[in-house]
Structure formats: structure tokens, C-alpha cells
Structure 1
Amino acid sequence: MKVAFLMGSLFMASVAVTGCSSKLTQPDEYSGFLKDYSQLKEGKSPSGAPVMRWVDPKLDINKYSKVYIEPSQLYPKPQPTERIPQSTLNGITTYYDQALKRELGKSLPLATSPGPGTIVMRPAITAVSSKTEGLKPYEVIPIALVAAAVSTATGIRDQETDIGTEAVFLDGQTNQVIAQVVRKGSGKPLENTSQVMKADDVKKVIDGWAADLHQSYLNLKAK
């Protein structure tokens, strides 16, 4: 009976840990960058990734002929660490800007400033973290749990790299919010607790975000 109870408890703990690694941004992870989160609804990006988003139901996408992308920012302003130095943070925002311009430039001509007929995108990187990879279901066996704990303590276990973004889209003339999106993703796992995270580790995630925005625009145009 005690063994069954122990195994059941370990299984539930494993499920709890797995749940914490959800790819959908949870309300307690919102950064405060957006003015209003109440209208966000769960959905799927064009690539199938889970996102929280809102699009003005009255939006007439055909009235816009240009897009202005504000420089992405880190929000709230993070404190660099040995694992995630300022050079990595700067590299992430620089690459985010490049990816957005590359992909959204396929949707609309890039504007140099807001104005009539212009969509203004205001993007932010709202989370950059590195944490020990969550326990896998097969590790509910006590011996494996002990081994995992030892590996974590010695820095052997893989480290997850997580990154989040929030973005608001505005009418360039009225400054009215026309859409919002919140999402996150995981980059390349780091090998141990001493490996320094680099911007390259999350570039694939950022590329996916930017490509989804371009495809979302095409989907709106097709409606």
C-alpha cells in the first residue's frame, strides 16, 4: 500500500511539473506591457502554436497599406546575469527587429514612421529564462528521480531556454489598438547550468513568431 501511494504521489508531482511547462502563456506570466489582457482568447497561430490573442472584430485590414515596426524592447527591464548577459539580451532584441522587418516586409511595405493607412507594431520581449528541464514521465521511478536530482545538482542535466513576447498593433493615425498577441516558446536546450545562453539559442523561435505574423496578415486579407 505504501509503495502504491508513493508511486501515485510521484506521478502526480510529475504531472504538475509537466503542466508548468505549458507552451501557452498563463495569466500569471503576463508582464504588464499590454494595457488590457481581458479580451485575449486562446487560439492557434498559423503554424499551429498556442497563443493568446485578440483582433478587433471591426478591423478592416484593407485600409492599411504600410506597416511601421517600433524597435522591440525588453519589458520589464531585466537584470543581466552570468547565464544571460546583456550581450545576449541585446542580441535577442536586435534579431527580433530583423526578423519582424524581414517577414512583415513581405506583407506590407515598411514605413519609416506612423501615419494614416499604417499599422504600427509595438513588440516586446517579456521573458528570457533558463531553467532545469522538467522531469519526464518515465522518471516517476524512485531510482530515476534520485539520479535526476543528482544530475541537476551537478549541472549535468539539460537546461530549458524559454522566451516570451507580447505585441500590440495600433492604427497609425488614431493610435487605436486593433490587435494584440501574447506567446512564448522554447529555444535550444543548454547542456548544463554553467553554459551561457546566446541569442542564437532562440533565433528559431523568433523566426517562427515573425513568420506567423506574416501568415496571419495573409489570412486576414483572405477573409
Structure 2
Amino acid sequence: MKLALMMSTLCIASLGMVGCSSTITKPEDYSGFLKDYSQLKEAKSPSGVDVMRWVDPKLDITKYSSIYIEPTQFYPQPKPTEKIPQSTLSGITGYYDQALKRELAKSLPLADAPGPGVVVVRAAITGVSSSTEGLKPYEIIPIALVAAAVSTATGIRDQETDLATEAVFLDGGSNKVIAEVVRKGTGKSLENDSQVMTANDVKNVMDGWAHDLNQSYVKLKVQ
């Protein structure tokens, strides 16, 4: 009986890992940040990751000469916790801003404000809802810690850091939506369920997002 229970627990944990490995955000996990999700289609990012994306088929990317990146926001706005304090939340939005500016500036000059000929990037860190049977989720907030493995010998559970984003791209002159993307990623694993998460644990995720956005622009420009 004990062996059966142990195998069942490990199986549940494995299912949790498989679920977290997907980079496709399910419709039930959409935050409401975007005004219209109906046009999103599954696509491959430049780095080969599955994402949900839409680009205006009439888009003329050559009409834009600069890019304005709005400050990243959380949607919905989370409340800090002991495991994910305000310093972590602020660090995440601050770093995402830096990553977007660093990567997108490789292709377009950064503008000081929206306007004609300017692409406006409006990005948010959004909620990802995950739970594993038998393991209580910490919080349903934009950064969710999800059980990744179970050690029945020590009782220590490694924890994955999950992050999701939704972004809309606007014509700075008309405010018309020209593209949208929804995706998520997994950062560094935490050693146990008491370790406090920091922005450093998910910097690799945001670096990847920003890099892919710039490469997407490059591909559109040469089409």
C-alpha cells in the first residue's frame, strides 16, 4: 500500500512537470490584459518556442522608424508575499523593461513618446494558474511557484518559477493594434518550498522573450 501511494505521488508530480513545460498559455489562463484574444494563433517564436500570436496581415513594418516601450506592468496587480516580496516584483518589471530596450534598440532607435512612425510596446507580466494535486499552491499571482519534483525521503520539494507575459504592439500615431503575443516560460528551480524567489530566478525567461521580440521584428522587415 505504501509503495502504491509513493508511486501515485511521484506520478502526480511528473504530470505537474509536464504541464509546466508547455509554453502555450491556455485560454482559461488569459488575464484580460489584451482586448481581443480571438485572433491569436499558435506559432513558433524565432527561438523555436510555441507561443500564441497575431500580426496584422496588412502590416507595413517599414513605415516605423523608432520604438517606444511603455513601463512594464503587472496584470492583475499582485500583493507581495513572504515568498515573493515587493522587491522581487519590482525587480521583475524593472528588468523586463531593461531587456526589451536592450534587445529592441538593436533594430530601432528608442523613442521618448508615442507618435507617427513609432511602434508602441505595451507589455505586462500576467497571471499563470497552476496547482498540483496534494500540494497547495502558494498564491495565484503573476509569478506562481509550481511543484516540480517530490523527494519522499527528505520531504523537500524543488520548486519551479513560472512567468507569463502578454504584450500588445500599437501604431503610435493611430493607436491601432498591429500585433499581439501571449507566452510563458520557466526560470530557475528553487531549492525548496521555503526559498524566497528573486528577480534573478526569472531573468533568463525575460531575456529570451526580449530576444525573440527583436528577432520577430527582423524577420518581418525582410519579408
TM tier relative to shorter chain: 0.7 to 0.9
Q: 2:149·2:157 contact (CA, 8 Å) conserved in 1?
A: no
With over 3 angstroms needed to count, the CA separation of the structure-2 counterparts of 1:187 and 1:16, relative to structure 1, is closer
- Matched residue, 1:54: 54
Matched, 1:42 2:42: yes
- Matched residue, 2:168: 168
- Matched residue, 1:113: 113
With over 3 angstroms needed to count, the CA separation of the structure-2 counterparts of 1:9 and 1:86, relative to structure 1, is closer
Secondary structure class of the residue paired with 2:215: helix
Unaligned runs of 5+ in 2: 127-141
With over 3 angstroms needed to count, the CA separation of the structure-2 counterparts of 1:34 and 1:11, relative to structure 1, is same
The RMSD of aligned alpha carbons is 2.2
- Matched residue, 1:140: none
- Matched residue, 1:144: none
Q: Quick one: which amino acid aligns to residue 52 of structure 1?
A: M
Matched, 1:131 2:131: no
* TM-fit CA distance, 1:20: 2.4
Unaligned runs of 5+ in 1: 136-147
- Matched residue, 1:92: 92
With over 3 angstroms needed to count, the CA separation of the structure-2 counterparts of 1:15 and 1:201, relative to structure 1, is closer
Larger Rg: 1
- Matched residue, 2:208: 208
- Matched residue, 2:64: 64
Secondary structure class of the residue paired with 2:106: helix
Distance 1:12 1:193 in 2: 19
Query: Going by fraction, where is helix more abundant, 1 or 2?
Result: 1
Matched, 1:17 2:37: no
Residue deviations 1:128-182 (CA, integer Å, cap 9, x gap): 11121157xxxxxxxxxxxx4565xx3x121010000000000001100000000
- Matched residue, 1:139: none
Q: TM-score, normalised by structure 1?
A: 0.85
Distance 1:48 1:36 in 2: 25
Q: 2:13·2:148 contact (CA, 8 Å) conserved in 1?
A: no
Q: 2:14·2:149 contact (CA, 8 Å) conserved in 1?
A: no
With over 3 angstroms needed to count, the CA separation of the structure-2 counterparts of 1:14 and 1:83, relative to structure 1, is closer
Matched-pair identity in %? 65
Moved over 6 A (4+): 8-12
Matched, 1:192 2:192: yes
* TM-fit CA distance, 1:12: 7.8
Residue deviations 1:25-69 (CA, integer Å, cap 9, x gap): 111111110000010001111011111000000000000001000
Q: Quick one: which amino acid aligns to residue 19 of structure 2?
A: C
